[in-house]
Amino acid sequence: MNFYDAHNHLQDDRFGGRQDELLAACARAGVARMVVNGACESDWPQVLALARAHSVVLPSFGYHPWYLAERTPDWLERLKACLDQIPSAVGEIGLDRWKPGLPYEHQEEVFLAQLQLAAERNVPASIHCLQTWGRLRELLRDHPRPACGLVLHSYGGPAEMVPVFAKLGAYFSFPGYFLRARKARQREAFRRVPPDRLLVETDAPDQPLPDDRNAFPLAGADGKPLNHPVNLSAVYRGLAEFLGEPVESLAARIEANFQRLFGPVPGGSGCAATTPPPSAAPCPS
Ligand SMILES: [Zn+2]
């Protein structure tokens, strides 16, 4: 079986420079492709470097709403420069009214500027949304979206909004964190996801699985637990159990969905696999 991680943050500093070791474990476990999401200007060059060194990495560049205060005046130009460098997606972008103390001001304008880039280039956008689903629906409805589709990563919205977002081109990715007992509501929403819109993610190093499913415990330098991206296969197994479906048929479906959205193989044709223009400027560090 081949496994596809629709959303992680392999570049994260909490991994302490152990990315090669993590990727070797993922390769042994059958991870065929992973979308590595940048979250702010300072980590975009790391995402680019990982993608250049490892064909399993599909890079994605975006400003996450948690880090908007860090953005420089020319952040959008820097983002375009990264997207011009290599076949890539846009993300992680989003809206967040959940995080305590996080200003909502400017979130929509930054989100829409990035959604526009994804629409213009027709590459998938990976979207984070917490406690602002109604507004996200309005913004997606009223603005250009990538024709190839978009990902609602760790979809935690209402079950009844799944068909609404699906009509707007959304795919829904399921994280291992939702296998926790208290995440029953979030799990149940995935029963409403159309079969051809389902994806799976680790969100590593975040969103750890329940301990009894975490076969690869990992800790950062500070001793805090981290989610190892090789846990992807355990997320597949947990989701297959929940849906009452053999993991083999689920994996085949996810493979088809992932490749339809993100493109089949490195360098192949597909939504995200466009050739960068010859005049591409360097991704600024
Ligand atoms: Zn994320």
Q: What is the Å distance from ligand 1's center to 7 Cα? A: 6
Q: What is the Å distance from ligand 1's center to 279 Cα? A: 30
Q: Residues near 188 by Cβ (< 8 Å), separated by ≥ 6? A: 159
174-221 pLDDT per residue, tens:
999 999 999 999 999 999 999 999 999 999 999 999 999 998 999 999
How confident is the model at residue 66, as a pLDDT? 97
How confident is the model at residue 268, as a pLDDT? 43
Q: What is the Å distance from ligand 1's center to 206 Cα? A: 8
Q: What is the Å distance from ligand 1's center to 107 Cα? A: 16
User: Rounded to an integer, what distance in angstroms lies between the CA atom of residue 73 and that of residue 183?
Assistant: 39
Q: What is the Å distance from ligand 1's center to 126 Cα? A: 9
Q: Which residues pair with 171 in a beta bridge?
A: 151
Residue 47 has pLDDT above 90, yes or no: yes
Q: What is the Å distance from ligand 1's center to 141 Cα? A: 23
Q: What is the Å distance from ligand 1's center to 154 Cα? A: 8
111-160 pLDDT per residue, tens:
999 999 999 999 999 999 999 999 999 999 999 999 999 999 999 999 99
Residue 26 has pLDDT above 60, yes or no: yes
Taking CA atoms, 135 is separated from 105, 179, 208, in Å, by 14, 27, 28
Q: What is the Å distance from ligand 1's center to 200 Cα? A: 13
Q: Which residues pair with 8 in a beta bridge?
A: 36
To the nearest 10°, the Cα dihedral for 235, 175, 7, 132?
170
Q: What is the Å distance from ligand 1's center to 198 Cα? A: 17
Q: What is the Å distance from ligand 1's center to 66 Cα? A: 11
Q: What is the Å distance from ligand 1's center to 228 Cα? A: 14
How confident is the model at residue 173, as a pLDDT? 98
Residues with CB under 5 A from ligand 1 (ion): 92, 203
How confident is the model at residue 284, as a pLDDT? 53
Q: What is the Å distance from ligand 1's center to 175 Cα? A: 10
User: Rounded to an integer, what distance in angstroms lies between the CA atom of residue 38 and that of residue 133?
Assistant: 22
